[in-house]
Amino acid sequence: MKILVTGSNGLLGQKLTERLQSDPSIELIATAKSDSALPIQRGRFFHLDVTDANAVNDIIARTTPDVIINTAAMTQVDHCELDHDSCWKNNVTSVENLIAASARSNVHLLHVSTDFIFDGTRELLDETAEPGPVNFYGESKLAAERLILESGISWCIARTVLVFGITRDMSRTNIVLWVKRSLEQGKTIQVVNDQWRTPTLAEDLAAGCHLAALKKAQGIYNISGKDYMSVYEIALRTADFFHLDKSLIKETDSTKFTQPAKRPMRTGFITDKAKKTFGYEPRSFEEGLAIVASQL
């Protein structure tokens, strides 16, 4: 099976690149706008800007993948709120391009989406939960989902939550790395206690996408971590794991922060459907921290 990965230089993209190269049944086609961050030892790499329709058509026609895993996106929530045009181009126009090329070449499209399509007013969510984004990033990701649902192509949507992990060239941080590095530097940090998530290890998300791609799973699937907790608890458990001073973590709530984009309050996921359909098994938060620690 040939699998093309977009956004292969991102956190999820790199984990997928590593994982798919280790599967002898997969021929990897990794793509990104800039040079590959990882050596491609089994497979091929192409430069690709998914917002360029002609480039998308050309690469897919040339490589003839069986499955596309679309990890490329503009995910900086506040930047999306401040620059609607760039957000829409990267999160919606790009998906239009991938849908058109997938239809033309009869390719199965697996698209990675987000918990931020929800309003955060409910507890743990399954795949039937009604979307209602509270920020423009969420609106753009929901618009992309709707395009896929109406496309008529073979498709799968993998929704995830608060991905954490580490790569060798981390250009952006995530909750675990931010807490760890801040406390190591002796910084006091303010962490909210009223936003709840099921944080997702990047390796687990990559495994879920891999399993879904192998089965060409159809429909919407939640692929997230198994532990549902507040962001404050995430910080405390990170500090405990790395034996750092958690007295530097100050508990607060969302009303104390001024950010361009509103955040949904509660967006934990139920992952039973992915477990039943293709055997997805997320690790505990501490198990995820141990994997991050082993890579530092």
On the question of pLDDT at 170 being above 90, the answer is no
| pLDDT given at position 172 | 66
Residue 296 domain-assigned (yes or no):
no
User: Residue 68: which of 25, 141, 150, 8 has the closest Cα?
Assistant: 8
Range of the domain at 210: 2-164+200-226+268-282
Poorest-pLDDT segment among 88-102, 246-260, 265-279: 246-260
In a domain, 170, yes or no: no
CA angle at 275 for the pair 204 and 8, rounded to the nearest 5°: 30
120 lies in some domain: yes
Count of C-beta atoms within a 10 Å radius of residue 76 = 15
Q: How far apart are CA 93 and CA 113, in angstroms?
A: 15
Q: Inform me whether the pLDDT recorded for 258 exceeds 90.
A: no
Nearest 5°: phi and psi at 3?
-120, 125
Share of the chain above pLDDT 90, in %: 96
Is position 88 within any domain?
Answer: yes
| Tokens read off for 103 | 């239809």
H helices present in 94-134, as ranges: 94-105
User: Residue 287: pLDDT above 80?
Assistant: yes
Torsion of CA 83, 86, 92, 97, to 10 degrees: 170
Whether 26 shows a pLDDT value over 80: the answer reads yes
How confident is the model at residue 69, as a pLDDT? 98
pLDDT at 101 (0 to 100): 98
Beta bridge partners of 238: none
- Residue 255 located in a structural domain: no
Contacts of 74 (CB under 8 A, 6+ apart): 80, 86, 87, 90, 91, 137, 140
In a domain, 260, yes or no: no
Greatest Cα-to-Cα distance within the chain, rounded to the nearest angstrom? 57
CATH number, residue 275: 3.40.50.720
Share of the chain above pLDDT 70, in %: 99
- Tell me whether residue 239 is in a domain: no
| DSSP code of residue 17 | H
Spatial CB neighbours of 223, under 8 Å, sequence gap ≥ 6: 158, 159, 160, 200, 204, 205, 208, 209, 212, 269, 271, 274, 280, 282
Contacts of 220 (CB under 8 A, 6+ apart): 127, 145, 156, 157, 159
Number of C-beta neighbours around residue 161 at 10 A? 23
State residue 4's pLDDT score. Answer: 98
Quick: pLDDT tens for 215-245. 999 999 999 999 999 999 999 999 999 999 9
Residue 188 lies in a domain: no
Question: What is the count of structural domains for the chain?
Answer: 1
